[in-house]
Amino acid sequence: MPEDSRARLIAYLCQAGLSTVRANAVLDAYAHALAERIRAEQGTTSLENGHHFFSGMDFAADLIDPVAA
């Protein structure tokens, strides 16, 4: 079984009938939606506040789904 949590989830989704390409797309879409929800609840993005290094939830959202500069 794969060590990486993303790889384990992809393997599970493939066992459930999704293709690898579709499983990756589903996981990417979920991660993007989660990061956008975190940013919306914070009311600002790390790019707007200018400093995001360890700035709480914005930093977490950027780890999940980085904002393009």
Tell me the pTM: 0.67
Which residues touch 45 (CB under 8 Å, ≥6 apart)? 39, 58, 61, 67
37-50 residue pLDDT tens: 887 876 654 455 55
12-41 residue pLDDT tens: 999 999 999 999 999 999 998 988 888 787
Widest pairwise Cα distance in the chain: 43
